[in-house]
Amino acid sequence: MRRSSGLRSLALSVVLSGCAGSAPRTSATLEGVQPGSPIGPAELRRDLFAFADDSMRGRETGTPDAFRAARFLADRLRQLGLEPAGDSLYFQRVPLQREVFTAATRIEVREGGRTTPLRIGRDIAPLLNLGDGVPPTRRDADGDLVFVGYGLTKAAGGRDDFAQLDLAGKVVVVVNGAPPSADSATRARLEAQTAISDRLARILPRRPAAVIVLLAGTGRALFDEVAPSLEHAVTQRSAAPEVPDSERVIPLIMLGTPVAGSPLLPARWPADDRAQVLTGRRLVAKLEQRRDPIMEYNVAAVVRGSDPSLRSTYVAYGAHYDHIGIVAPVRGDSIANGADDDGTGSVGLLAIARAVQQAPVKPRRSTLFVWHVGEEKGLLGSRWFVDHPTVPIDSIVAQLNADMIGRNAPDSLYLVGPRSAPNNQSRRLGAIVDSVNAAQSPPFHVNRSFDAPDHPEHIYERSDHFNYARKGIPIVFFTTGLHGDYHQPADEPSKIDYEKMARVTRLMLDVGRAVGNASGRPR
């Protein structure tokens, strides 16, 4: 689940040569699994220990490790005899680019004759891409530093941090946190990620040269995740010309953390948290990036439906096979295996593909399976797939997304989409899921809290179903929820509840069958 070369050309040629030999087998006897057998814990455990092994090195998009994972999936699909549904057999090429800060980049605080450099990825994290539809931010800044405390107004927190401060042309520093006197509820609200946009909405109209948001309390985890990823940034490749800095209307925005002694804070912080001009201090920033084109791959396959009148329509299953790769060591382990995120969804889809392919009677509609790349980099693979579909996009009647389906209480399950998708487009599909779940033995206890449109974690926007929903496709996102090992090296295959994972996978299989056999679309 998302939180934000030549090798690829060579890799594709290897893939094509490896897949173009003898015709796929129509059934496969895989070790420990007999054809037609129900989905069980042993099958899932076998695949996940291979897929989330240290040898996969965390499957980060933009590295050979992601391609190794894609090849694992494609080889299994070929063994099972599924029909390829990419643009290059099982692979759909996804053109991306790696963004690298050049040696000309600098961010520094000047005070008197002293210069203090701020290191990207360690001290500071520039936010150069604020999302679809948002203009790019400036990459240069030069201005006096002004500290606006917690960026509060009387309406927002009982004090006015902007009184008598001129922010035009200044570099504004604000703490995304709460004063020491705040109660626990206020602190949680002021430290939340959603509070960042609230503070920016107060600051940006004052025309600053740049804004630096220092993440306090629970927000520090966001910086710890975003900052290192800047060294491995991957984005959608674009042929659009670069917008010159002079035409960019949004100032440079950067994240950091409030550390005593930082040149971005008052000298006596945290005892002194008053809004104030940091007299004599000036920030100068100049960011330059190089963009190197790379090719990544979605993996896609189809099981054809049995009804000639419906087989040109599809029930789609989705998961993402990438994770975050190599991270800072935790107790000597630096490989973020991503067993739950989203190893469980990826191998769960393999099990569903096997069950559908080997069923004596296929569903009336066809079944489409897509393993997306680049989810952790910004839902890149799913965005590319829905914009460049390998089947007509309006032929997909529903999309069932699996992301993190192997942890937490045995009978608990989160469903996202029936309430949070726009225009009630997923309500009917949600009702089908509820009906199928009620017939399970035992059924899951469904937690719908993530499905609230105003949930502070914005789970609805954080996995690949979101891009399908943008196209008006009914979606349901199946997840067993977040946990303490999320995006940590401790997300290991040994911690998965395989019996629970098998139950979630069987539920998704049964939902797909119900939709696939229905005469009408789930609208």
Kindly give, in sequence order, each residue whose CB lies less than 8 Å from that of residue 507, ignoring residues fewer than 6 positions away: 413, 433, 436, 437, 440, 444, 478
Angstrom distance (rounded) from CA 433 to CA 447: 13
Residue-level pLDDT at 30: 58
State the SS3 of 140-179. EEEEEEEECCCCCCHHHHCCCCCCCCCCCCCEEEEEECCC
Angstrom distance (rounded) from CA 181 to CA 411: 40
Kindly give, in sequence order, each residue whose CB lies less than 8 Å from that of residue 27, ignoring residues fewer than 6 positions away: 35, 80, 81, 357, 358
Token pair 């899932």: residue: 44
Give 412's strand partners.
445
Angstrom distance (rounded) from CA 293 to CA 473: 31
Query: In this predicted structure, which of 225-229, 413-417, 457-461 has the lowest mean pLDDT?
Result: 225-229
Kindly give, in sequence order, each residue whose CB lies less than 8 Å from that of residue 33, ignoring residues fewer than 6 positions away: 42, 43, 46, 354
**Helices (H) and strands (E) in the chain — how many of each?**
12, 20
Residue-level pLDDT at 2: 78
Residue-level pLDDT at 173: 98
Cis peptide upstream of residue 389 (ω within 30 degrees of 0): no
Q: How far is CA 116 from the centre of its chain?
A: 34
Judge whether 362 and 394 are in contact, CB under 8 Å: no
Q: Radius of gyration over alpha carbons of the chain, in Å?
A: 25
> What confidence tens digit (pLDDT) does each residue in 73-98 have?
999 999 999 999 999 999 999 999 99
> What confidence tens digit (pLDDT) does each residue in 225-240 have?
788 778 788 999 987 7
pLDDT band at 499 (very low <50, low <70, confident <90, very high): very high
Token pair 């719908």: residue: 448
Indicate whether 10 pLDDT > 60: no
Spell out the domain ranges in the chain: 48-98+292-517, 105-287
pTM: 0.87
For the segment(s) 48-98+292-517, the CATH number from 3.40.630.10, 3.40.50.11710, 1.25.40.80, 3.30.230.70 is: 3.40.630.10
Average pLDDT on 272-277 reads: 97
Angstrom distance (rounded) from CA 190 to CA 135: 26
Question: Over pLDDT 70: what percentage of the chain?
Answer: 93
In this structure, the number of other CB atoms found within 10 A of the CB of residue 363 comes to 23
Q: In angstroms, what CA-CA distances link 309 with 305, 313, 359, 366, 393?
A: 9, 9, 20, 11, 18
Average pLDDT on 112-137 reads: 88
Residue-level pLDDT at 46: 98
Angstrom distance (rounded) from CA 450 to CA 204: 30
In the three-class reduction of DSSP (H, G, I as helix; E, B as strand; rest coil), residue 269 is classed as coil
Query: Please, what is the average pLDDT of the chain?
Result: 91
In the three-class reduction of DSSP (H, G, I as helix; E, B as strand; rest coil), residue 506 is classed as helix
Q: What angle do CA 426, 427, 428 make, to 5 degrees?
A: 95
In the three-class reduction of DSSP (H, G, I as helix; E, B as strand; rest coil), residue 120 is classed as strand
Give 144's strand partners.
282
Give 296's strand partners.
94
Token pair 């504004």: residue: 172
Residue-level pLDDT at 246: 83
Question: Which amino acid appears at position 38 of this protein?
Answer: P
**What count of Cα atoms within 13 Å lies in the side-chain half-sphere of residue 510?**
19
User: Which token pair is 444?
Assistant: 């899951």
**What count of Cα atoms within 13 Å lies in the side-chain half-sphere of residue 467?**
24
Average pLDDT on 28-44 reads: 79
Query: In this predicted structure, which of 215-219, 320-324, 478-482 has the lowest mean pLDDT?
Result: 215-219
- Nearest CA to 347 out of 300, 308, 402 is that of 402
In the three-class reduction of DSSP (H, G, I as helix; E, B as strand; rest coil), residue 270 is classed as coil
> What confidence tens digit (pLDDT) does each residue in 237-247 have?
987 788 888 88
Q: In angstroms, what CA-CA distances link 489 with 136, 315, 333, 378, 388?
A: 33, 34, 6, 21, 34
In terms of C-beta density within 10 A (0-12 exposed, 13-18 middle, 19 or more buried), how is residue 388 classed?
middle
Query: In this predicted structure, which of 142-151, 244-253, 282-291, 503-512 has the lowest mean pLDDT?
Result: 244-253
**For 141, left (φ over 0), alpha (ψ -120 to 50), or beta?**
beta
Q: In angstroms, what CA-CA distances link 318 with 76, 278, 373, 403, 503?
A: 16, 51, 11, 9, 17
Residue-level pLDDT at 222: 85
Residue-level pLDDT at 157: 59
pLDDT band at 22 (very low <50, low <70, confident <90, very high): very low
Backbone phi, psi, residue 144, to 5°: -65, 145
The CATH class for the domain spanning 105-287 reads alpha beta
Q: In angstroms, what CA-CA distances link 290 with 98, 172, 251, 478?
A: 8, 27, 20, 38
Judge whether 322 and 61 are in contact, CB under 8 Å: yes
Within 339-407, strands assigned E span: 366-372, 396-402
Crossing angle of helices 345-358/41-51, nearest 10°?
Answer: 130
DSSP 55: G
In this structure, the number of other CB atoms found within 10 A of the CB of residue 218 comes to 14
